[in-house]
Amino acid sequence: FSSLLLQVRLVMKAHSFIRENVPRVLSSVKDKSGTVHIPRISQYLYFLFAPTLIYRDNYPRNPTIRWGYVATKFAQVLGSLFYAYYIFVRLCIPQFRNSSQETFNLRGLVLCIFNSILPGVLILFLVFFAFLHCWLNAFAEMLRFADRMFYK
């Protein structure tokens, strides 16, 4: 699943890179100008690791890296993982442990589903917080990426 998500991210980034650069190259060929602005490899590599899906030649950058902020964000990711583990151990596993030993009935299925709604919502919020907030902000800080509009 994570490999699939990584491939989707790379395809989206490649699409953005091509969509931004092909019109520039075609217009310079049509104008028959001697200079064709092709992005450097370093610009493309920065774009691959930057937490954005929109390619630009230059991004706003912070002057320094705040390593304390990076450590805090990674600690929050680790804390989210431990909290998700706690939710599974306390709320999900006991619910489904006895369901394999009982005969299948509709009442048991409905109870399992309703008892899993709260842990599922908590896990969804944890994934949102850990990845979209903590993980992306940590990598943005390490790359000195100043435009932190992940939610738009």
Q: For the segment 15-35, what is each residue's pLDDT rounded down to a tens digit?
A: 999 999 888 888 877 777 667
pLDDT one-digit tens code per residue, 69-108: 999 999 999 999 999 999 989 988 887 777 767 777 888 7
What are the residue boundaries of the structural domains of the chain, listed by start?
1-58, 60-151
What per-residue confidence (pLDDT) applies to 34?
A: 67
The more confident residue out of 37 and 70 is 70
145 backbone dihedrals φ, ψ, rounded to 5°: -80, 120
What per-residue confidence (pLDDT) applies to 152?
A: 62
Asked if 50 and 59 touch (Cβ cutoff 8 Å), the reply is yes
pTM of the model: 0.73
DSSP conformation class of 101 = T
**Which residue has tokens 């602005």?**
37
What per-residue confidence (pLDDT) applies to 96?
A: 78
Mean pLDDT of the chain: 87
Residue 58, pLDDT above cutoff 80: yes
CA distance 146 to 140: 7
Integer Rg of the chain from CA: 23
61 forms beta bridges with 145
What are the C-alpha distances in Å from 29 to residues 26, 34, 91, 152? 5, 8, 62, 35
Residue 151's pLDDT band (cuts 50, 70, 90): low
Residues 6+ apart with CB under 8 A from 66: 141
Identity of residue 82: F
Identity of residue 125: F
